[in-house]
Chains A and B, each alone.
Chain A
Amino acid sequence: MSDPVLPLGGARFDGLIAVEEVPQGMVALRGSLDAEAVKAAVTELTGAAMPDPLRATRQGDHALLWMAPDELLILLPRADGPQAARDLADTLSGEHALVTDVSDARAVFALSGDDGRLRETLAKLTSADLSPGAFAPGTVRRTRLAQIPAALWLTEPGVARVLCFRSVARYAFDLLSEAGREGSAVEVL
């Protein structure tokens, strides 16, 4: 198999917050998220329980992100994507479900820094309410980042993941770098 190539080759920015493009295995699952067979299958694969709406659950380097009422994104190590997608598709072969390895279709950015500055950097780009009261750690929110759709996942205070389509990776990285530029702190969140 050929080596995976990151859209921006692991670009990194340091400013108010650090933005780093990271390799990430991603498997998209469409189906009934409340079906027992689906819940059991994803828990068996990742060790994490099915998340509540707009939430994520983690187990080690695996995570489950609730993307829509019928869509789940499974995060796992980069190299495991294709095999995990095949295994999960086999497990769910009798169920009404669709499993796809989307590791090459998306770009993932790891954001880290002061919790307030991180929230502000994202708040400059999206209409989602990122105040600590409305956006607690563990929240997943698909929204709009300037001109593109993106998913925001606050893993813990001061650490977040931003997921977007691979084709707009450069735009997303430039946006985050510009919004997180030194000297541009708003200091309200």
Chain B
Amino acid sequence: MLILTCPCCGVAADEIELAPGGQAHIARRGPDSTDAAFEEYLFLRDNPRGVHFERWRHAMGCGKWFHAARCTATNEVFGTYPAQTTEPPQEIRDRIAERRTDQPKDSRA
């Protein structure tokens, strides 16, 4: 079972305490963007086999949103971090680079 440590309350929360929120770090597009950019924001999501940055909500706990870096193939969790950021913190990237030599340095592609 997937266990993520909520960075907001510090609880090691079991998967059944959490609600998944899909891909993290999606740039929001407004009505003045192009149709292509809006479509990408609204519908197009990555589906990587490997490192993935996700949003989760500690729904049955403190109720806060946070981000997690997880490998979709092995379920290895590289870390969790607060949602108030537009990109993964360096510390998380370093940990991924250390553990996953097969991944590019910036594995958000």
Contact = CB atoms under 8 A, between A and B. Distances in A.
Interface in A120-156: 127-129, 141-144, 149
B11 interface: yes
A149 B64 contact: no
Size category of the binding interface on chain A: 10 to 19
Interface in B23-62: 59-62
Interface in B13-29: 14, 16-17
A181 to B, nearest CB: 23
B73 to A, nearest CB: 24
Interface string A65-102: 00111010000000000000000000000000000000
Contacts of B79: none
A144 B60 contact: yes
B10 A54 contact: yes
Contacts of B14: 127-128, 144
A144 B62 contact: no
B16 A142 contact: no
Contact of B64 (A54, A68, A127, A144): A68
Contacts of B61: 68, 141-143
B77 interface: no
Given A68-B63, A68-B64, A142-B60, A127 B8 contact: no
Question: Which of B1, B16, B61, B64 has the largest number of chain A CB atoms within 10 A?
Answer: B61
> Secondary structure at chain B's binding surface: helix, strand, loop or mixed?
loop
Given A67-B62, A69-B64, A54 B17 contact: no
A68 B17 contact: no
Nearest to A68: B62
A167 to B, nearest CB: 16
Contacts of A68: 8-9, 61-64
Contacts of B16: 127, 144
A69 B60 contact: no
A15 interface: no
B10 A143 contact: no
Given A127-B17, A144-B16, A144-B17, A69 B62 contact: yes
B60 A143 contact: yes
B17 A143 contact: yes
B60 A149 contact: yes
A54 B63 contact: no
Contacts of A129: 12
A129 B79 CA distance: 20
8 contacts: A68-B61, A68-B62, A68-B63, A69-B8, A127-B17, A141-B11, A142-B60, A142-B61
Interface of B: 1, 8-12, 14, 16-17, 59-64
Which 5 residue pairs spanning A and B have beta carbons closest together?
A: A127-B14, A68-B62, A144-B60, A149-B60, A142-B61
